[in-house]
Amino acid sequence: MARHGGRGWYGRVIAAAVGVTAMAAVTSVWTAQAGPVDAGQAGADASARPSAGSVPARVSVDIAHASDHGARGVNITIDDGPDPDWTPQVLDVLRENGVKATFCMVGTQAQAHPDLVKAVVADGHRLCNHTVSHDTTMDTKPDTYQSQQILDAERMITEASGGVRPVYYRAPGGAFTPYSRDLAASRGMRPLGWNVDTKDFERPGAAAIVATVKSEVSNGPTILFHDAGGDRSQTVAALREILPWLQQQGYSFGFPVR
């Protein structure tokens, strides 16, 4: 799994998160103190949306790639948001095509935009923990640092959602470690990989993003897009074209296995 480099936007995120992580070091073990899920937040099935007051059930430590829709299932995954400019547009395209996706959220972004986190949940999409500050060198850092990044992001996302926990964990740039996978799994978050990297972050043009999906979807069902970190207009345009195409090819849209 390729690592994305040169992300100046994330330099600012990391800087902003330093104080959050430092303050949370004393209390970062998330003990499910938030209130129950609001009754109006129905959407995704209950087994994939444990409330903040429940004890998460351990899931597999193996990195998930398969779809719960079987051999012709496709998992749309959206990373790095939420973003006030692009997440609403991505949600609109998904809604227009009747597609549910998995949103891998950065903790500080979720904390800054709780309305968007709630909008994602309300539309029936699933939440994924993408750490506090999107550090792609996570696998070179001590276990204590990895723990803070994962548990603090879990807390931020759960609070921003109104009580819905993330049910997957995607390491930034694929920087998983045995420790981080085990920790996430113990919190009910299945480690989540990808099969198709659209490289939309590099802004190669909507046509190139679409071509990548068409040529590589046979590699596996989990497709990586982004809704933050810069201008994501190409991603939105590509989704408008590729989602109907996938349906025309006989694919259905599911969630990663848990």
> Per residue in 73-99, pLDDT tens?
999 999 999 999 999 999 999 999 999
Residue type, 84: P
Residues acting as catalytic residues: 79, 226
> Residue 49 has what pLDDT?
56
Q: To 10 degrees, what angle do helices 178-186 and 143-161 make?
A: 30
Taking 70 as the threshold, does the pLDDT of residue 113 lie above it? yes
Q: Which of 112, 110, 23, 204 has the alpha carbon at shortest distance from 213?
A: 204
What's the pLDDT tens digit per position in 154-192? 999 999 999 999 999 999 999 999 999 999 999 999 999
Give the mean model confidence (pLDDT) for residues 210-238.
Answer: 98
Give the mean model confidence (pLDDT) for residues 203-226.
Answer: 98
Q: Which of 131, 160, 169 has the alpha carbon at shortest distance from 41?
A: 160
pTM for this predicted structure: 0.83
Q: What are 14's two structure tokens?
A: 């990391």
The set of residues, in sequence order, having a beta carbon less than 8 Å from that of 17 and lying 6+ positions away, is 107, 108, 132, 133
Give the mean model confidence (pLDDT) for residues 192-210.
Answer: 98
| Gap between the Cα atoms of 214 and 196, Å rounded | 10
Instruction: Give the least confident one: 1-15, 22-36, 223-237.
Output: 22-36
Taking 50 as the threshold, does the pLDDT of residue 18 lie above it? no
Q: How confident is the model at residue 56 (pLDDT cuts 50, 70, 90)?
A: confident
- Give me the sign of the Cα torsion angle 44, 94, 109, 2: positive
What's the pLDDT tens digit per position in 139-152? 999 999 999 999 99
- Work out the number of other CB atoms within 10 angstroms of the CB of residue 229: 22
% of the chain residues with pLDDT over 90? 78
| Gap between the Cα atoms of 227 and 230, Å rounded | 8
> Residue 244 has what pLDDT?
98
Q: Which of 236, 13, 7 has the alpha carbon at shortest distance from 110?
A: 13
> Residue 186 has what pLDDT?
98
Taking 50 as the threshold, does the pLDDT of residue 103 lie above it? yes
Taking 50 as the threshold, does the pLDDT of residue 30 lie above it? no
Q: How confident is the model at residue 46 (pLDDT cuts 50, 70, 90)?
A: very low
Mapped onto helix, strand or coil, the DSSP state of residue 137 is coil
| Gap between the Cα atoms of 253 and 257, Å rounded | 12
Q: How confident is the model at residue 52 (pLDDT cuts 50, 70, 90)?
A: low
Taking 90 as the threshold, does the pLDDT of residue 41 lie above it? no
